[in-house]
Structure 1
Amino acid sequence: MFRRAFWFGAGAAAGVWATTKVHRKLQQLTPESLAAQAANKAIDAGHKLKDFALDVRAGMAQREEELGEVLGMHTPPDPAELPAQRHRPALGQRQHIQHPDHSYNRNEDH
């Protein structure tokens, strides 16, 4: 008698457990639940991507600082070592010199 009651109780408990598990899985597969899960995953991916971009920027800044120190780019340049500036005519002051053997008509012989 106790053996039958034990197996009856075990079977009822297994049935309740299985029914609950199936019901939860069906709730997870509704369109609203799937949309919410996708949105949460997209937000998580966005946060991870943002963190990665910030890490890359920090690494770039650190490396640029290291390269600047190695190349001496942070020390002010010595004015005696700089090349002299070239004088360039302002816009509108350019003079076009035409060679007598060449025609500069772009529409010619095309």
Structure 2
Amino acid sequence: MFRRTFWFSTGVAAGVWATTKVNRKLRQLTPESLAASAANKAIEAGHRLKDRAVGFALDVRHNMAEREAELGEALGLNAPIDPQLPGVRRYPAIENSNKTKTYVIDRTTYSYNRNEDH
């Protein structure tokens, strides 16, 4: 009698356990649950990618600064300037566009400034 009660209880427990497992898996496989899981994984992947990109950018900036320092030393850009030499000449890459240009058309003078409000 105890043997039958033991095996009956064991069967009931196994049935409850299996039913619980199957119901959990079915809830995980619903479209809403799958969509939420995919969205969470995509967000996590985006965060990991962003962290790697930021780390890469910092490494690039650090190595760029080191290389610029090496080139500056190799070219003597950081060397002290001899006071007998003329100063450094700097030429503008673009001319000052704020200057007003004057045009003469049919003996009438027109001034033109492209930065002027119209």
TM bracket (short chain): 0.5 to 0.7
Residues 1:67 and 1:77: Cα distance change in structure 2 (over 3 Å): farther
Residues 1:76 and 1:37: Cα distance change in structure 2 (over 3 Å): farther
Alignment correspondent of 2:65: 65
Supply the distance in 1 between the matched residues of 2:14 and 2:90 (Cα, whole angstroms).
91
Deviation at 1:75, TM superposition (A): 3.0
Supply the distance in 1 between the matched residues of 2:46 and 2:90 (Cα, whole angstroms).
51
Gaps of 5+ in 2: 92-118
Deviation at 1:82, TM superposition (A): 6.5
Alignment correspondent of 2:47: 47
Supply the distance in 1 between the matched residues of 2:90 and 2:24 (Cα, whole angstroms).
79
Alignment: residue pair count: 87
Alignment correspondent of 1:24: 24
Alignment correspondent of 2:78: 75
- Report percent identity of matched pairs: 55
Letter matched to residue 20 of structure 1: T
Supply the distance in 2 between the matched residues of 1:11 and 1:34 (Cα, whole angstroms).
32
TM-score (norm 1): 0.66
Supply the distance in 2 between the matched residues of 1:31 and 1:7 (Cα, whole angstroms).
39
1:6-53: CA deviation from partner (whole Å, max 9, x where unpaired):
111111111000000000000000000010001001100110110011
RMSD of aligned residue pairs (Cα, Å): 3.0
Q: Which has the higher strand share?
A: 2
The answer to which of 64-73 and 76-85 deviates more is 76-85
Supply the distance in 2 between the matched residues of 1:69 and 1:35 (Cα, whole angstroms).
51
TM-score (norm 2): 0.62
| Structure possessing the higher relative contact order (Cα contacts under 8 Å, 6 or more residues apart) | 2
